[in-house]
Amino acid sequence: MRLFKGLLAAAALSMVALAASAAEYKSEYKVSTVVGKPFPWGLSAERWAELVEERTDGRIKMKVYPGAQLVQGDQTKEFTAIRQGIIDMAVGSTINWSPQVKELNLFSLPFLMPDYEAIDALTQGEVGQAIFEAIDAKGVLPLAWSENGFRELSNSKHPVRTPEDLAGLKIRVVGSPLYNDTFTALGANPTQMSWADAQPALSTGAVDGQENPMAIYGAAKLYTLGQTHLTMWRYVADPLVMAVSKRVWETFTPEDQAIVREAAVEAGRYGVELAREGLTGENPAYLEELRGLGVEVVEPTAEERAKFVAATRPVYEAWKEKIGAELVEKAEQAIGK
């Protein structure tokens, strides 16, 4: 009887502790994304929120705020805002977070990753873990990888098969010096601007082209903005990081931490599947659909791709030192296997 009473008391204390902890939870946890539905990026964030609310019986309610609205539209400030506790959670771009975590520039090294297997070799292996440790050291807790996809090239002028075809083209690029360096090396005229500004610039012809994952090209219907020349060159990729503010994480019970982490992993896999749908050798359905809409899809041969690699090699070598030669070499070895 005494043992039974002791077990009851322990259980009661555990329930009180759980209730006390849950009572400290926020009524809403803000999740930042740069884009929302119907992009894989936004959909994976929504899936994460749904899974967490369901599996915590509503103790943790996450609301997705797309368009980087929690940082007044400046996506480069997202990482700092999470670290400071202004943002609770995020599904963030490795590109947007790279100014604060230099190791994330790895995925933007030109022509490092030739295929999806190469992305997986990095994110799901020793390199991915090392990058997560670098993010963690900056005060943000990474939980899982998702994906925005390979960044492909489109323009309104002519097909691009070699660096010579890029000469003089005004290409909208993201706000990263590495992208400026890459397109300058290819002979183009890189122009940094936000995505909100990019779409009207494409429609008016103020810029000739852009580079983005296919999910964004399709959802934004860029082929209706004159972007009818598409080059599937897989020059860089943009894995996404599903992360939480450490300040928030420490308020969750161990049980809820496990739920949030597992849900992030599951939602991240969902995002990867969406980002690759219809774009693989086994299933090129989306590319065929675009051809049916009048888009000229160029898939460079190995010889043509080699010319892009050669033209950007000085940029690669310079940034290899900035990112960390040891990490880049580990990445090269992982892809080589």
DSSP states of 112-165 as a string? ---SHHHHHHHHTSHHHHHHHHHHHHTTEEEEEEEEEEEEEEEESS----SGGG
- Two structure tokens written together for 6: 């002791």
Angle at alpha carbon of residue 170, lines to 161 and 219, rounded to 5°: 75
pLDDT digits (tens, 9 = 90+) for 165-220: 999 999 999 888 999 999 999 999 999 988 778 989 999 999 999 999 999 999 88
**Dist CA 186 CA 163 (whole Å):** 5
Give the per-residue pLDDT at 337. 87
* pTM passes above 0.85: yes
pLDDT digits (tens, 9 = 90+) for 116-125: 999 999 999 9
Asked whether the predicted pLDDT for residue 11 surpasses 60, the reply is no
Q: Which residues contact 5 (CB under 8 A, 6 or more apart)?
A: none
State the average pLDDT over residues 21-42: 86
Q: What percent of the chain has pLDDT over 70?
A: 93
- Two structure tokens written together for 142: 């990474």
**Dist CA 326 CA 107 (whole Å):** 15
- Two structure tokens written together for 333: 């070895």
For residue 212, what are the β-bridge partners?
152
Domain ranges of the chain: 27-336
Quote the DSSP letter at residue 153.
E
Residue 63's nearest CA partner among 32, 23, 24, 22 is 32
Sign for the CA dihedral angle at 321, 193, 196, 150 comes to: negative
pLDDT digits (tens, 9 = 90+) for 243-280: 999 999 999 999 999 999 999 999 999 999 999 999 98
CATH architecture of the domain covering 27-336 = 3-Layer(aba) Sandwich (3.40)
